[in-house]
Amino acid sequence: MKGLESVNNLVKEFKRLPGIGQKTAERLAFFVLKSDKSMALALAEAMISVKESVRLCSVCNSITEDDHCEICRDSGRDRDIICVVEESKDIYAIERSREFKGLYHVLMGVLAPLDGIGPSNLKIKELELRISGGGIKEVIIATNPDTEGEATSIYLSKVLKPLGVKVSRIARGLPVGSDLEYADEVTIMRSLQGRKEI
Amino acid sequence: MPLYETKAIVLKVIDYGESDCIASFFTKEYGKIQGIVKRVRNKKAKFGASLEPFTLSNIIFFGRENANLYNVNSADIVDPFSVNRDDYDKLIHSFYLVDLLNTYLSDRDPHPSLFDLGLETLKSIGEATGRGKTETAINIFQLKFLSESGYAPKMGMCVICGDCNLTPYGFHPGRGGVICRGCMSRVTYAIKVSPGILKFMERAMHGEPHIIKRMIISKEMNGELRYVIEKYLRLHTGRELKSSKFINSHLSSIG
Ligand SMILES: [Zn+2]
Ligand SMILES: [Zn+2]
């Protein structure tokens, strides 16, 4: 829109957000334009505060507003089992299941040979140090079941097993509620390999 | 718009926008092609593991002839090379193979025999029972790749003095070929390599497939060869393979 630099600018910034195209960005910009100034200030402040107060947990690299995250501080959790995930957001997915009561370790990515991301680019040394510190019995590797996640899992088992911990991998197979007929052969193969006696 | 159906080795997939991705494939008929796959991340089930690196998939795509970016309609697994994914050594060598093709091949430039050799090499990596076999397989593939893609180093005469009756003594990555003993002492940046390596290079590049298949070389020779090819490719293409540091650090860690 000609002569409306500030509106254009806001549209441009909204468009940077994931899933926001030109139309949605314009709608959002007009919404802000029509709302009270206090609403706009609250939005801007919330964004700035997230950037200023959120940091990484010094133990598990999960996002937190303190030095240690809530999970690492929680004395009710099993402290001898660590679940290794790629990103902080994976913790939220696992926590929703309420199945896991141990601690986490965020790798901050995954091994990606085609992008040149190697073991030294991830928080693997930190994980080794945590385990060497003692008190850990089991490490569950919960990286994604794609090629890079598998590569990371194989690499981790190679470096962690010599430290004397049990290393396990989350099961890979058919999603609950899906249809066998539409699953590809790799998924079915993994499901058969990971079958369980009932 | 024409619709194409072909077998393709998945080279690399990158996210594009919220739910789409751009995949590059190596096909027998059309060479390397790139295609946009719509809504792949919302409908993961439809594509499943068919777009994982170094999977052989049957793909259907459409677009203008000679398009830079096709539209990929479907991908179905033909061979997932599963055993290559269960072992770290096999995994990174397989990654290296697709990285080589993805980085150095031009789009829509068919190399049918390289496609066949690529599949055979992935299979050999999967079946390999020791480090020597994996490394030999990938080195043969690299050499065949050089001769197929127009990067073949000069092997018949000294690249410095032009002597044709030489006993090759070293390799000059910058000049792109072998050099004689006399020149070796006069130039810098040349790499001394064993005569066995030079013979192996020549055979792997120009030999018959059934002969190549039976060749196997020592750990030291594989290491020398990898070093020479890496230096040579980097100098002649100006590009480095991101996965090569993986191979190097992995191989040096296992000694
Ligand atoms: Zn923490
Ligand atoms: Zn010479």
pLDDT of A59-74, one tens digit each?
999 999 999 999 999 9
Q: Give chain B positions within 8 Å (CB) of A183.
A: 45, 48
Interface of A with B in 10-69 (CB under 8 A): 18-19
**Helical packing angle, A5-15 and A22-34, nearest 10°:** 130
- Is the Cβ of A186 closer than 8 Å to some Cβ of chain B? yes
pLDDT of residue B219: 86
Length of chain A: 198
Mean pLDDT over A25-48 rounds to: 94
- A5-53 fold: Helicase, Ruva Protein; domain 3 (1.10.8)
Q: How far apart are the first and last CA of chain A?
A: 65
Spacing, Cα B159 to ligand 2 middle (Å): 7
Question: Which distant-in-sequence residues (6+ apart) come within 8 Å of B203 by Cβ?
Answer: B211, B212, B215
pLDDT of residue B45: 58
Task: Please report which helix (H) or strand (E) contains residue B146, including its range.
Answer: helix B131-148
Average pLDDT of chain B? 89
> How far does the CA of residue A121 sit from the closest CA of chain B (Å)?
12
Q: Are B20 and B40 in contact (CB under 8 A)?
A: yes
Q: Are A185 and A198 in contact (CB under 8 A)?
A: no
Q: Do domains A5-53 and A75-197 have the same CATH topology?
A: no
| Contact flag B249-A118 (C-beta cutoff 8 Å) | yes
Spacing, Cα A56 to ligand 1 middle (Å): 8
pLDDT of residue A1: 63
The residue among A189, A186, A148 whose CA lies nearest residue B77 is A186
**Residue whose pair of structure tokens reads 């133990």 in the numeric block:** A59
**CA distances to A191, B109, B110, B232, B233 from B152, in Å:** 45, 17, 17, 10, 10
**CA distances to A15, A54, A84, B8 from A57, in Å:** 31, 9, 14, 44
Task: Say which amino acid occupies A21.
Answer: G
Tell which phi-psi region holds residue B162, choosing left (phi > 0), alpha (psi between -120 and 50) or beta.
left
- A75-197 fold: Dna Topoisomerase Vi A Subunit; Chain: A, domain 2 (3.40.1360)
What b/e string do you get for B147-174 counting C-beta neighbours within 10 Å, with b at 16 or more?
bbbeebbebebbbbeeeeebebbbbbbe
DSSP class per residue in B196-249: HHHHHHHHHHHS-HHHHHH----HHHHHHHHHHHHHHHHHHHS---TTHHHHHH
| Contact flag A114-B98 (C-beta cutoff 8 Å) | yes
**CA distances to A80, A95, A135, A170, B91 from A123, in Å:** 19, 21, 19, 20, 21
**Of the given ranges (A56-70, A143-157, B25-39, B198-212), which has the lowest mean pLDDT?**
B198-212
pLDDT of residue A161: 95
Predicted model pTM: 0.88
Widest distance between CA atoms in chain B: 64
Residue B235 in tokens: 């100098």
Q: In sequence order, what are the beta bridge partners of B61?
A: B4, B72
Ligand nearest to the CA of B178: 2
DSSP class per residue in A148-170: HHHHHHHHHHHHHGGGT-EEEE-
> How far does the CA of residue A196 sit from the closest CA of chain B (Å)?
20
- Work out the pLDDT band at A44, boundaries 50, 70, 90: very high
**Helical packing angle, B131-148 and B112-127, nearest 10°:** 170
Spacing, Cα B160 to ligand 2 middle (Å): 5
- Work out the pLDDT band at B194, boundaries 50, 70, 90: confident
**Phi/psi of residue B26, each to 5°?**
-115, 120
pLDDT of residue B43: 57
Quick one: three-class SS letters along B68-109?
A: CCEEEEEEEEEECCHHHHCCHHHHHHHHHHHHHHHHHCCECC
The ranges assigned to domains in chain A are 5-53, 75-197
- pLDDT exceeds cutoff 90 at A18: no
